Chains A and B, each alone.
Chain A
Amino acid sequence: MSRSQLDRPAIPAGLGADDTGCHVLHVDMDAFFASCELRTRPALQGRPVIVGSDAPRSVVLAATYEARRFGVHSAMPMSRARRLCPQAVLIEPTRGLYRAVSEEVMAILGEVTDRIEPLSLDEAFLDVAPAVRRMGRPAEIGRHIRERVRAEQGITCSVGVAATKHVAKLAGAHAKPDGLLVVPTARVLDFLHPLPVSVLWGVGERTGQSLERLGLRTVGDLARAPVETLRHSLGAALGSHLHELAWGRDPRPVEPHRLDKSIGAEETFARDLSDPVAVRAELLRLSERVASRLRRQRVVTRTVALKIRFADFTTVNRSRTLTEATDVAKDLYATAAALYDAMGIGGRRVRLVGVRAESLGPAGQQDRQLAFDEPAIGWREAEVVADEAAVRFGPDAVRPAALLRAPDRTSAAGRHPSGREPDGH
């Protein structure tokens, strides 16, 4: 999100067509902090807005694209930003807001694939190879993510689609704001070579000066320079690294972070729900989703949290710790539904519900207290079979009977179309 994104070169023609083999997605929120703030201040849409405090020596945390047009960018001293764009509206940062929105966005991404590598609060790489069968081509998945983030979080994001992390990130930067760009495998060099060397990972100010002295200004210049020259003047490691990147070679896989702190799923209803039966059905659906992700990531949870956001946007979170760690939807649902019932809010209009598994631990390392009413082959095994069916036939292949009529009812209730995963049968 730097100034250089605004004076980017034009995108070469012919990009964006063929996404074959482009299974790496780079997803980046547009002017993240500022977008979060604008959700509750719709009147400021389209106006220059700066997020940061008005205190001396403070810096710009985020600026809308309207403010960036005046040269404002993040990390710039606030005093300078105010001189550049005196008409900008200054918003004090809201504690906790960005992390909360980030978690919800990451949850959406987590539903696409478990191969997700977050880079910061507002940015992540996804390897969507396992999701293609279920959700469609990478570009379609990218569009799906953009639509869900917009509809459910009220902010926009940009998506770069390519075969490697490096190119996907550059593609994402080029798509900004609010865009999507595919760099087909065959067109990587066309895309890469006209760009300035500064876009390459590992090229900072000093390396940039060294390259400048060699007369290498574009990625293409660097690519055509003898690798020995680069190794000699930049050092062996960096020289080889940049040479590889300049030829579009980036072998680093998307690395999912170690162990999630929590796994959750949420649903925002297009029309608020007031029927407790419908809310519970949604809790069951979300519990299924969360349990399935727990099993996929081979973790178990000991704490189940329920989140309810009412029509007036007040939000209530409740959690309960279980006797035994679990990855079974039936247990998650029983706890979530009990928390919901205990709130005693029957009839209040609900805008969003969420189920979250916290206190995660590795699966299979827990000793398990057996219960009388738990057959040796039970719910867990049934749900594992459902997981396998979901991989082959899509997420709705096997569902609890209570949800069998759900598509009719929820579509009648006007669930937002983007809230459902497309079936990739």
Chain B
Amino acid sequence: MKFRLDRDDLADSVAWAARTLPSRPSIPMLAGLLVEADEHGLTLSSFDYEVSGRVTLPAEVDEPGRVLVSGKLLADIARAMPAQPVDLSADTSRVELRCGRSTFTLPTLPVEDYPVLPDMPTSSGSVAGPVLAGAVAQVAIAAGRDDTLPTLTGVRVEVTGSVITLAATDRYRLAVRTFDWQPERPDLDSAALVPARTFAETAKSLAGCELVRLSLAGSGAGEGLMGFEGGGRRTTTRLLDGEFPKYRALLPTESATVATVDTGTLTDAVKRVALVAERNTPVRLTFSGDEVLLRAGTGDDAQATEGIEGAVEGDPVEIAFNPSYLLDGVGAVGTPSVRFSFTSATRPAVLTGVADEPSDGADPYRYLLMPVRLSG
């Protein structure tokens, strides 16, 4: 195998394909990156039985071939190369990379036993890369990290025609986001549970793509997989099993108090008072009139208080939250102001964005946060 390509192309593609490689693989081979050269150019692939990645890029191929090398090492080398064309040649036992005046020689891994990557499921539709990345990031923060509740470590994806709804919850908060996309079939109706971490990372890595194709396999080839494709990069991830909670019933339909606060001011204030909130202790917020009073710390411990401006309509509310859950939500709404809706101090608060321009209909993003019940 022998080919030449641009150093930046190589570095970007290797970094992308190697990003999901396990650092401590169950089989050494799975730490490998599959390098294939043929008349179409160069293909780099990775697979750990959960997530697969495949990228094709142009290269001047002198001699086609197929080798498996350590993905992490190749990524490190590619990143460190000078900005000059890279020549790569390989036989069955070693790979040689030349760039400028440096030469690297890497041993190969046995390519014969490398598993076959799953086929990409048929495309179901497409969405702009930045829209997908933004939506997934807003929702994935609420996903659980506790492997004893595997269903909650996923993001629920519901497709109804031209609308996709994403939802995730760890039992303490729930994030729901809807966005439009272009389905292949207008009557598409499908749902899947995608591992949140992989989903967020994949969406982020495709954020630069004008268009990302999503594949939700209903049945047949690629069942149990979700596929993403954009800019010559394709990823599949295995879906999670299990019944996602019936989250729609949790969304309150009315509220006793609505408050609007500047997002940046609130974020800074919460971070400041939370300095005295030791692990797991809440930040207490009082919404009344035109002020939001934040307090943290109790008794003999360190205490902090800060008042910020806010527009409060309805009954005054005193409520306590885990500060990091609160910051997650305030940070995720992504608008200059954040709106809080409350029903009571023991019922979930709903955080929504307040756009500069009024939106039509339902809020595209809602972050429900369960309060902390104070002992005192």
Contacts and interface: CB of A to CB of B under 8 A. Distances in A.
Determine if chain A interacts with chain B: yes
Interface of A: 323-324, 334-335, 338, 342, 364-374, 376
Contact of B282 (A334, A367, A371): A367
Contacts of B124: none
Which has the most chain A C-beta neighbours within 10 Å: B148, B169, B245, B346?
B148
A372 B148 contact: no
Nearest to B169: A372
Contacts of B282: 367, 369
A368 B148 contact: no
A218 B41 CA distance: 104
A225 B172 CA distance: 71
A371 B375 contact: no
Nearest to A324: B280
B370 A371 contact: yes
B271 interface: no
A49 to B, nearest CB: 46
B265 to A, nearest CB: 25
B169 A370 contact: no
A367 B348 CA distance: 16
Query: Closest 9 interchain pairs by CB?
Result: A338-B148, A371-B171, A370-B370, A368-B373, A367-B372, A369-B372, A367-B374, A365-B375, A367-B282
Interface string B145-176: 01010000000000000000000010110100
B13 interface: no
Interface string B355-376: 0000000000000101111110
A370 B148 contact: no
Contact of A369 (B245, B322, B368, B375): B322
B372 A364 contact: no
A169 to B, nearest CB: 40
Contacts of A366: 375
Contacts, number: 50
A355 to B, nearest CB: 15
Given A365-B375, A372-B172, 10 more contacts: A324-B280, A367-B281, A367-B373, A368-B375, A369-B372, A370-B370, A371-B171, A371-B172, A371-B370, A372-B169
Contacts of B281: 367
A374 B148 CA distance: 18
Contacts of B245: 372-373
A370 B322 contact: no
B320 interface: yes
Nearest to A365: B375
21 contacts: A323-B146, A323-B280, A342-B148, A366-B375, A367-B282, A367-B320, A367-B372, A368-B375, A369-B280, A369-B322, A369-B370, A369-B372, A370-B172, A370-B370, A372-B169, A372-B171, A372-B245, A372-B250, A372-B368, A373-B245, A376-B346
A374 B346 CA distance: 11
A362 B373 CA distance: 16
Contact of B174 (A323, A334, A372): A372
Nearest to A302: B280
Interface string B171-192: 1101000000000000000000
Contacts of B171: 371-374
Contacts of A367: 280-282, 320, 372-375
Interface in B85-113: none
Contacts of A370: 172, 346, 370-373
Contacts of A369: 172, 280, 282, 322, 370, 372
A324 B174 CA distance: 18
A368 B148 CA distance: 21
Contacts of B374: 367
Interface of B: 146, 148, 169, 171-172, 174, 245, 250, 280-282, 320, 322, 346, 348, 368, 370-375
Nearest to A368: B373
A371 B282 CA distance: 15
B375 A372 contact: no
Contacts of A376: 346
A335 B174 contact: no
A371 B170 CA distance: 9
B250 A334 contact: no
A334 B148 contact: yes
A38 B350 CA distance: 64
Contacts of A373: 171, 245
Contacts of B174: 372
B148 A335 contact: yes
A369 B374 CA distance: 9
A369 B370 CA distance: 7
A99 to B, nearest CB: 29
Contacts of B172: 323, 369-372
A149 to B, nearest CB: 35
A144 to B, nearest CB: 36
Contacts of B372: 367-370
B329 to A, nearest CB: 14
A323 B374 CA distance: 16
Nearest to B250: A372
Which has the most chain B C-beta neighbours within 10 Å: A324, A368, A369?
A369
Nearest to B173: A372
Nearest to A370: B370
Contacts of A338: 148
Nearest to B144: A323
A330 to B, nearest CB: 13
A373 B320 CA distance: 18
A372 B370 contact: yes
B28 to A, nearest CB: 22
Contacts of B146: 323
Contacts of B368: 372
Nearest to A337: B148
Nearest to B347: A370
A364 B280 CA distance: 15
A334 B370 CA distance: 21
Nearest to A376: B346
Contacts of B373: 367-368, 370
A365 B372 CA distance: 13
B118 to A, nearest CB: 26
A369 B320 CA distance: 9
Nearest to B249: A372
A378 to B, nearest CB: 12
Nearest to A322: B146
B375 A364 contact: yes
A372 B348 contact: yes
A279 B123 CA distance: 46
Which has the most chain B C-beta neighbours within 10 Å: A335, A367, A368?
A367
A371 B348 CA distance: 9
B323 to A, nearest CB: 11
B242 to A, nearest CB: 15
Contacts of A335: 148
Nearest to A334: B148
